[in-house]
Structure 1
Amino acid sequence: MSSLKRITALSDEISKNSKTVTDYLSEKGLEAASFDVDGLAEFPINPSDEEAFKARLALIAATRELHDLSLGPKEGLRYLAWDSANQLSLQAVYEFKLAEAVPLSGSISYQDLSEKVNVPMLNLRRVIRHAMTNHIFHEPEKGFVAHTRTSRLLLEDLPLSSWVGFMTNDLWLPIANVVKAMKKWPGSGESNETSVNLAYGTDTNWFDWLQEDKDLAKRYGLAMQAHGGGEGFAISHTVNGYPWGELGEATVVDMGGSQGYVSFAIAEQFPKLNFIVQDTAGMRVSSTIAKVPEHLTDRVQLTTHDFFTPQTVDAQVYFFRWIFHGFSEKYCIKILQALTPALKTGAKIVINDGTLPEPGTAGYVEEKSMRTMDLFMQITVNAREREVDDWAELFKQADERYKFLKAWKPEKSRMWFIEAEWTG
């Protein structure tokens, strides 16, 4: 009977949280997200509206669990196993530029669309009608295709469209080769012994291989823009989530900081801090930000330095944002060891990165997101996301003189802060 009680409990929870969300939207005079072509693409609930925001996350988790329970484990496993077909139809929509070919208003027949994109009508109709099961396009009358809000996003949101292309096209073969790579290179931490190398027959590591194709590099950059703009990844969490003001008049070295946009944001809010942004010359060239804002030139410097080479700058804080999750243990240890020539007693290492929650301790959306990110780091570079204990162990392996202090996640952020101190 416990399974019956769980279904009832989930139903009640869905009803309660649906009411909280709809009451909030009604009170604010807002509409909900919709698949209608002119509807809202995102739920208009800000994380600062705490009750409604939490209710929405709880609603997502409860509806998913009720869906899975209603299917049952046997049917659910069968569905999960053939779920790659979702990517297949989405890949076809992206590759054949179907969102661009379907008129934004009105509709187009399958036959006319077939001639427009040069894909045989039966094959075209097959993939589109499958995509429709995921709310991508709809069929207002038999034999005609029209946009939904979801397919319209592929037409109008270039970063999101690039994200779709990157995931369904560029990483399609690597995903299928992960298990083969695990068998070929058991436990490898090398960035050129991955499923990407198997899939594309290259000995080059991911980031170098990426730069060999300008279109791919551009698509990747736009895709990362879409990912970074997701809920919980805003720079404001980096600015407000660490006690920068307590550092006083300190120098912060922003390691791998590209053209310094994060340092700019922190410097704006904390005028006593000075920043030295370090990155390789290649990252300088590929960045779209040209220079330090005029009013920050006396406090922010852009310099060239490879964080695998010995550090020479004496500072109070060495800051890494979204760096360590891109490297295996072996290379993360090298990064930390390269710092030691410059470290003075009391210097702090501040890392702003992803951290895996203990199983079952986070909400469904957060845990699913982080576990998926963990897999993608393996796919591309043989790196991984880490739990809090893993961060502590990383510092210990790098040098016993590192003292792990703590790790915490700012409220509403998806990224954590990890802090350690050099004891000399």
Structure 2
Amino acid sequence: MASSNNTPRIVELAAQISASVNKFETLLSDQGLPSPTFDEDSPPSFPDDMYSLRAQILDATAELNEVLTEPLMLIFKFAAISNLISLDTVCRLGILDMVPAGGKLSFAEVAGKTGLSHAEVRRVLRHAMAMRVLQEPEPEMVAHTKVSKFMSLPHIQAWAQFEGKDTWPACAKVADALEKWPASGDIKETGFALANNGKSVFEVLHADPERAMRFGSGMKSLDHVPGCGDMLVSKAYDWASLGNSHIVHVGGSRGVVAMDLAKHFEKTRFLVQDGPMMIKGAEVPEELQGRVDFMEHELFAPQTVQADVYYFRMAFRNWNDENAVKLLKAQVPALRRGAKLLIQDKCMTPPNTVPISEERIQRAIDMSLKTFFNSRDRYLDDWKALLAAADEKFVLHKVVQIEGSLLSMLEVHWDVSSVKA
């Protein structure tokens, strides 16, 4: 990005960073919050109302760092899959759990507990420390940072191990898949399939409970992606405007989202639909009984329940267009005049319209969908095309996007008046 005046861009960036950081620090102080550090007990996140300012700082610091980095070193930075080696290792060998909270452990003790040589312990730990995961408060001693403390959460460790054991081999095959099947949307023609003897991700997870557990636990890491957490759904849409509505959450798993929404919006009633293995054993709190129920229902089976609203949360992104259209068509048998579909999913933004820190996250997630499912996160025109292909009575009414969220809420009306005579 070129400077708009005669001031050198790096000087302009430095001034912008200084002013924004001062403002950020003032806001923290006004709210009684500590200034961020890598200390173990430093808060891992910031208030939602500081999102825009934080994004400005992240973008400016990233640009300053990268414009001062030689091209080869910048390529190395973004191509460094070797970073995953130490992240996977400290999780897989339980090193994060060995380090005591608020304390420290010697490299020699880590070697004794893991069976690694002292040299390998030093190599792995210092590689992780270079990424702010763990720290060396004194020579040959290891302690937590706020990053490693967060990474110690069981589901984050599961994600790291999934990245090492499952994602990494699949990513190495994506280019091969693109060469072999340049225009494919088949779930068995992916980098993951090439890395797993031609089997789709669903086939592999169905046949391997250990990998399925790792995958499921790792998916909980999405709770920490901006705006993707289950408990943030209540803020993503004006649910109160639905009034006394009966809402079917299609593919609603164990009902966590439905129950949270029912607590926040007392006029709503929810029916959670999913496969028998997903809903088995799901329990509804006493205070929500009668307002949240469960029903066995396969995702692509014809809808049999008439309701006011059909809600889909990240249900389309794992499927190619053909299957996404099938999912929409499956709802048609039960739809009545005025029914709504609420589709909470990614609506991709055009380039350079959101902070680069956010854009990099969404582009990376989009590549992951290609790797595993041969699907993609869709742009607005893609969503309109899906709706039109499913039925002309599906009319996109509006798209709701709250600041700081990577997901949008697409409100779709079943509009029989839209049918041309």
TM-score by length of 2: 0.90
Structure 1 pair 229–151 and aligned structure 2 pair: CA distance change class (3 A):
closer
User: CA–CA distance in 1 between the matches of 2:15 and 2:320?
Assistant: 44
Which residue of structure 2 lines up, in the alignment, with residue 328 of structure 1? 320
Q: Following TM superposition, by how much is the alpha carbon of 1:105 offset from its aligned partner in structure 2, in angstroms?
A: 5.4
Which residue does the alignment assign to 1:410?
Answer: 402
1:246 maps to 241
Q: CA deviation at 1:243?
A: 3.1
Other structure's SS at 1:33 match: coil
CA apart distance, 1:133: 1.0
Matched, 1:275 2:235: no
- Residue pair 1:233, 1:413 contacting (<8 A) in 2 also: yes
The aligned residue for residue 42 of structure 2 is 40
CA separation in 2, counterparts of 1:96 and 1:199? 24
CA contact (8 A) 1:195 1:379 kept: yes
Aligned-partner residue type, residue 290 of structure 2:
D
Tell me the secondary structure at the aligned position of residue 346 of structure 1. coil
Match of 1:123 among 120, 124, 149: 120
CA shift digits 1:12-50 (9 cap, x unpaired): 11101111121122333322332233x31414x311xx2
Quick one: which of 204, 210, 213 aligns to 2:205? 210
Q: Which amino acid aligns with 2:340?
A: K
Q: Report how far residue 236 of structure 1 moved.
A: 5.0
Question: Which residue of 1 is the match for residue 360 of structure 2?
Answer: 368
Q: Which moved more, 1:215-224 or 1:100-109?
A: 100-109
Residue 19 in 1 paired to residue 11 in 2?
no
Aligned residue for 2:133? 136
Q: Which residue of 2 aligns with 1:58?
A: 56
**Of 276, 279, 287, the match for 1:295:** 287
Q: Which moved more, 1:182-191 or 1:298-307?
A: 182-191
Tell me the distance in 2 between the aligned counterparts of 1:95 and 1:331. 36
User: Which piece of structure 1 moves more, 238-247 or 401-410?
Assistant: 238-247
Map 1:19-418 → 2, pairs under 5 A: 19-37=22-40, 39-43=41-45, 45-47=46-48, 50=49, 52-81=50-79, 83-104=80-101, 107-155=104-152, 157-203=153-199, 205-285=200-280, 290-418=282-410
412 and 36 in structure 1: CA distance in 2 versus 1, 3 angstrom threshold: closer
Paired positions, count: 413
Question: Is contact 2:300-2:330 (8 Å) kept?
Answer: yes
For the 8 Å contact 1:96–1:117, the answer to whether it is kept is yes
The structure-2 alpha-carbon separation of the partners of 1:106 and 1:347, relative to structure 1 and needing over 3 Å to count, comes to: closer
Mapped to 2, the partners of 1:242 and 1:151 lie a distance apart of 34
The answer to whether the Cα contact below 8 Å between 2:309 and 2:339 also exists between their aligned partners in 1 is yes
TM superposition shift of 1:104: 4.5
In structure 2, the residue corresponding to 1:419 is in which secondary structure?
Answer: strand
Mapped to 1, the partners of 2:241 and 2:143 lie a distance apart of: 56
Q: How far, CA to CA, are the matches of 1:169 and 1:35 in structure 2?
A: 28
Assess, with a 3 A threshold, how the Cα gap between structure 1 residues 107 and 239 changes in structure 2: closer, same or farther.
closer
Q: Tell me, what secondary structure is at the counterpart of 2:294?
A: strand
TM-score (norm 1): 0.89
Deviates more, 1:143-152 or 1:297-306: 143-152
Give 2:419's aligned residue.
none
Q: Distance in 1 between matches of 2:414 and 2:346?
A: 22
Bigger mean CA offset, 100-109 vs 61-70? 100-109
Check whether the contact 1:274–1:299 (CA below 8 A) recurs between aligned residues: yes
Give the superposed CA RMSD: 2.3
Output the CA distance in 2 between the equivalents of 1:273 and 1:328: 32
Q: In 2, are the aligned partners of 1:180 and 1:195 still within 8 Å (CA)?
A: yes
Q: Using the TM superposition, give the Cα deviation of residue 417 of structure 1 relative to its aligned residue in structure 2, in angstroms.
A: 0.7
> C-alpha separation between the residues in 1 aligned to 2:100 and 2:251?
43
CA distance in 2, matches of 1:311, 1:140: 59
Q: Structure 1 residues 4, 118: CA separation in 2 closer, same or farther (over 3 Å shift)?
A: farther
Work out the percentage of aligned pairs sharing the same amino acid. 33
Q: Which runs of 5 or more structure 2 residues have no equivalent in the other structure? A: 417-421
Deviation string, structure 1 residues 231-281 (Cα, Å, up to 9, x no partner): 322445432332333333332221111122222222233333332221111
Distance 1:411 1:378 in 2: 26
CA 1:380–1:27 in structure 2 vs 1: closer, same or farther (change >3 Å)? same
Q: What SS is found at the alignment partner of 1:159?
A: helix
Q: 1:283 to 1:193 in 2, by over 3 A?
A: farther
Rounded Cα–Cα distance in structure 2 between residues aligned with 1:182 and 1:419 = 34
